[in-house]
Chain A
Protein backbone atom coordinates (compact mmCIF):
# COMPACT_ATOMS: atom_id res chain seq x y z
CA UNK A 1 0.00 0.00 0.00
CA UNK A 2 0.88 3.66 -0.14
CA UNK A 3 3.68 4.67 2.18
CA UNK A 4 4.33 8.06 3.70
CA UNK A 5 7.64 8.60 5.45
CA UNK A 6 8.06 11.35 8.01
CA UNK A 7 11.40 12.48 9.38
CA UNK A 8 12.61 12.94 12.02
CA UNK A 9 10.49 10.81 14.33
CA UNK A 10 11.49 12.93 17.29
CA UNK A 11 13.46 16.12 17.82
CA UNK A 12 14.48 18.22 20.77
CA UNK A 13 15.42 21.82 20.17
CA UNK A 14 16.13 24.94 22.14
CA UNK A 15 13.68 27.78 22.38
CA UNK A 16 14.18 30.30 19.57
CA UNK A 17 15.57 27.86 17.04
CA UNK A 18 13.81 26.51 13.94
CA UNK A 19 12.98 22.92 13.18
CA UNK A 20 12.18 21.33 9.84
CA UNK A 21 10.03 18.23 9.48
CA UNK A 22 9.93 16.32 6.21
CA UNK A 23 7.09 14.30 4.79
CA UNK A 24 7.69 12.08 1.78
CA UNK A 25 5.39 9.91 -0.27
CA UNK A 26 7.47 6.89 -1.21
CA UNK A 27 5.41 5.10 -3.83
CA UNK A 28 2.90 7.60 -5.14
CA UNK A 29 2.72 11.21 -6.18
CA UNK A 30 1.23 13.26 -3.40
CA UNK A 31 -0.63 16.10 -5.02
CA UNK A 32 -2.10 17.11 -1.67
CA UNK A 33 -0.50 16.92 1.75
CA UNK A 34 -2.02 17.74 5.09
CA UNK A 35 -0.28 18.71 8.28
CA UNK A 36 -1.86 17.91 11.64
CA UNK A 37 -0.95 18.66 15.20
CA UNK A 38 -1.95 16.35 18.00
CA UNK A 39 -2.01 17.35 21.64
CA UNK A 40 -1.76 14.70 24.34
CA UNK A 41 -4.91 12.59 24.58
CA UNK A 42 -6.62 14.69 21.93
CA UNK A 43 -7.57 14.34 18.33
CA UNK A 44 -5.78 15.63 15.31
CA UNK A 45 -6.04 19.30 14.54
CA UNK A 46 -5.65 20.16 10.88
CA UNK A 47 -3.07 22.91 10.54
CA UNK A 48 -2.83 23.35 6.80
CA UNK A 49 -3.41 21.81 3.42
CA UNK A 50 -0.78 22.06 0.73
CA UNK A 51 -1.04 21.34 -2.94
CA UNK A 52 2.09 20.73 -4.95
CA UNK A 53 3.44 23.92 -6.45
CA UNK A 54 1.11 26.30 -4.69
CA UNK A 55 0.87 28.06 -1.36
CA UNK A 56 -0.51 26.18 1.59
CA UNK A 57 -3.98 26.90 2.92
CA UNK A 58 -3.89 27.38 6.66
CA UNK A 59 -6.72 26.68 9.06
CA UNK A 60 -8.07 29.46 11.18
CA UNK A 61 -5.85 30.25 14.13
CA UNK A 62 -2.70 28.72 12.67
CA UNK A 63 0.11 31.23 12.18
CA UNK A 64 1.44 30.83 8.66
CA UNK A 65 4.60 32.80 9.45
CA UNK A 66 5.39 30.47 12.29
CA UNK A 67 4.57 27.20 10.60
CA UNK A 68 6.09 27.40 7.15
CA UNK A 69 4.94 24.76 4.72
CA UNK A 70 6.64 23.99 1.44
CA UNK A 71 5.34 21.49 -1.08
CA UNK A 72 7.80 21.94 -3.89
CA UNK A 73 7.59 18.47 -5.39
CA UNK A 74 5.08 15.68 -5.78
CA UNK A 75 6.86 13.55 -3.21
CA UNK A 76 8.00 16.00 -0.55
CA UNK A 77 6.42 18.51 1.76
CA UNK A 78 8.17 20.21 4.66
CA UNK A 79 6.91 21.92 7.79
CA UNK A 80 9.27 24.36 9.44
CA UNK A 81 8.49 25.53 12.95
CA UNK A 82 10.21 28.86 13.18
CA UNK A 83 11.43 30.43 16.41
CA UNK A 84 10.09 27.50 18.36
CA UNK A 85 8.79 27.94 21.89
CA UNK A 86 7.89 25.37 24.54
CA UNK A 87 4.20 25.71 23.69
CA UNK A 88 5.00 24.41 20.20
CA UNK A 89 5.96 21.08 21.73
CA UNK A 90 3.57 18.58 20.26
CA UNK A 91 3.18 15.59 17.97
CA UNK A 92 3.04 16.63 14.31
CA UNK A 93 1.65 14.26 11.71
CA UNK A 94 1.58 14.60 7.95
CA UNK A 95 -0.71 12.83 5.55
CA UNK A 96 -0.88 12.65 1.80
CA UNK A 97 -3.18 11.88 -1.03
CA UNK A 98 -2.47 11.27 -4.69
CA UNK A 99 -4.26 12.60 -7.77
CA UNK A 100 -7.77 11.42 -8.41
CA UNK A 101 -8.03 9.73 -5.03
CA UNK A 102 -11.27 11.50 -4.19
CA UNK A 103 -12.75 10.03 -1.05
CA UNK A 104 -9.99 7.52 -0.59
CA UNK A 105 -8.36 7.43 2.82
CA UNK A 106 -5.39 9.51 3.73
CA UNK A 107 -2.00 7.90 4.12
CA UNK A 108 -0.28 9.05 7.28
CA UNK A 109 3.32 9.42 8.28
CA UNK A 110 4.40 8.07 11.65
CA UNK A 111 4.55 11.52 13.17
CA UNK A 112 7.25 13.70 14.70
CA UNK A 113 7.49 14.34 18.42
CA UNK A 114 8.80 17.89 18.89
CA UNK A 115 10.05 18.98 22.29
CA UNK A 116 11.16 22.57 22.73
CA UNK A 117 13.22 23.25 25.84
Chain B
Protein backbone atom coordinates (compact mmCIF):
# COMPACT_ATOMS: atom_id res chain seq x y z
CA UNK B 1 0.00 0.00 0.00
CA UNK B 2 1.08 3.53 -0.72
CA UNK B 3 2.63 5.32 2.21
CA UNK B 4 1.41 8.74 1.09
CA UNK B 5 -1.95 10.47 0.78
CA UNK B 6 -2.60 13.39 -1.53
CA UNK B 7 -5.68 15.32 -2.66
CA UNK B 8 -7.14 13.90 -5.83
CA UNK B 9 -7.11 17.16 -7.76
CA UNK B 10 -6.22 20.84 -7.50
CA UNK B 11 -6.54 23.94 -9.67
CA UNK B 12 -4.12 26.83 -9.97
CA UNK B 13 -4.13 30.05 -11.97
CA UNK B 14 -1.26 30.55 -14.38
CA UNK B 15 1.51 32.64 -12.82
CA UNK B 16 0.45 31.87 -9.27
CA UNK B 17 2.19 29.50 -6.89
CA UNK B 18 0.89 25.94 -6.79
CA UNK B 19 1.13 24.31 -3.35
CA UNK B 20 0.65 20.56 -3.40
CA UNK B 21 0.33 18.88 0.02
CA UNK B 22 1.25 15.33 0.94
CA UNK B 23 0.84 13.30 4.11
CA UNK B 24 3.34 10.54 4.95
CA UNK B 25 2.69 9.95 8.62
CA UNK B 26 4.29 6.47 8.68
CA UNK B 27 7.57 7.49 7.08
CA UNK B 28 10.63 6.02 8.76
CA UNK B 29 13.85 7.80 9.58
CA UNK B 30 15.86 6.70 6.53
CA UNK B 31 13.13 7.11 3.93
CA UNK B 32 13.22 10.01 1.53
CA UNK B 33 10.30 11.97 0.14
CA UNK B 34 10.36 12.23 -3.64
CA UNK B 35 8.17 14.11 -6.04
CA UNK B 36 7.60 13.06 -9.63
CA UNK B 37 5.12 14.28 -12.18
CA UNK B 38 3.52 12.62 -15.16
CA UNK B 39 2.34 14.65 -18.12
CA UNK B 40 -0.36 12.88 -20.12
CA UNK B 41 0.79 9.26 -20.23
CA UNK B 42 4.51 9.92 -20.52
CA UNK B 43 7.07 8.37 -18.20
CA UNK B 44 7.24 10.02 -14.76
CA UNK B 45 9.62 12.97 -14.53
CA UNK B 46 11.71 13.63 -11.43
CA UNK B 47 11.10 16.97 -9.71
CA UNK B 48 12.77 17.10 -6.31
CA UNK B 49 13.50 15.07 -3.19
CA UNK B 50 14.40 15.58 0.46
CA UNK B 51 15.02 13.84 3.75
CA UNK B 52 14.66 16.40 6.54
CA UNK B 53 15.56 19.83 5.26
CA UNK B 54 13.70 22.03 2.84
CA UNK B 55 15.02 21.79 -0.70
CA UNK B 56 14.90 24.02 -3.77
CA UNK B 57 15.93 23.49 -7.36
CA UNK B 58 15.17 25.10 -10.70
CA UNK B 59 11.77 23.43 -10.90
CA UNK B 60 10.31 23.60 -7.42
CA UNK B 61 10.69 23.86 -3.66
CA UNK B 62 10.01 21.13 -1.13
CA UNK B 63 8.94 21.97 2.41
CA UNK B 64 9.08 19.10 4.92
CA UNK B 65 7.58 19.51 8.38
CA UNK B 66 9.84 19.07 11.36
CA UNK B 67 8.18 15.77 12.34
CA UNK B 68 8.48 14.62 8.69
CA UNK B 69 4.87 13.50 8.62
CA UNK B 70 3.91 15.81 5.79
CA UNK B 71 5.40 17.90 3.03
CA UNK B 72 4.43 20.47 0.42
CA UNK B 73 5.66 20.82 -3.13
CA UNK B 74 5.69 24.41 -4.34
CA UNK B 75 5.75 25.40 -7.99
CA UNK B 76 6.47 29.13 -7.60
CA UNK B 77 5.02 30.37 -10.90
CA UNK B 78 2.80 27.73 -12.44
CA UNK B 79 2.46 27.61 -16.22
CA UNK B 80 0.05 25.73 -18.44
CA UNK B 81 2.82 23.20 -19.10
CA UNK B 82 2.78 22.29 -15.40
CA UNK B 83 -0.61 20.64 -15.82
CA UNK B 84 0.09 17.03 -14.83
CA UNK B 85 -0.39 14.37 -12.18
CA UNK B 86 2.01 14.94 -9.29
CA UNK B 87 3.13 11.99 -7.21
CA UNK B 88 4.47 12.25 -3.69
CA UNK B 89 6.52 9.14 -3.06
CA UNK B 90 8.29 7.56 -0.13
CA UNK B 91 11.45 5.91 -1.31
CA UNK B 92 12.53 2.70 0.40
CA UNK B 93 16.23 2.81 -0.26
CA UNK B 94 18.96 0.43 0.83
CA UNK B 95 22.05 -0.88 -0.95
CA UNK B 96 20.10 -3.78 -2.46
CA UNK B 97 16.65 -2.29 -2.89
CA UNK B 98 15.31 0.91 -4.34
CA UNK B 99 11.54 0.99 -4.38
CA UNK B 100 9.46 3.97 -5.29
CA UNK B 101 6.04 3.45 -3.71
CA UNK B 102 3.57 5.43 -5.80
CA UNK B 103 0.13 6.55 -4.66
CA UNK B 104 -2.61 7.83 -6.94
CA UNK B 105 -1.22 11.37 -7.07
CA UNK B 106 -2.74 14.85 -7.40
CA UNK B 107 -4.01 15.99 -10.75
CA UNK B 108 -2.99 19.66 -11.05
CA UNK B 109 -4.87 21.75 -13.59
CA UNK B 110 -3.30 25.12 -14.38
CA UNK B 111 -5.76 27.48 -16.03
CA UNK B 112 -5.17 30.77 -17.91
Q: Do A and B interact with each other, yes or no?
A: no
Interface residues of B (CB under 8 A from A): none
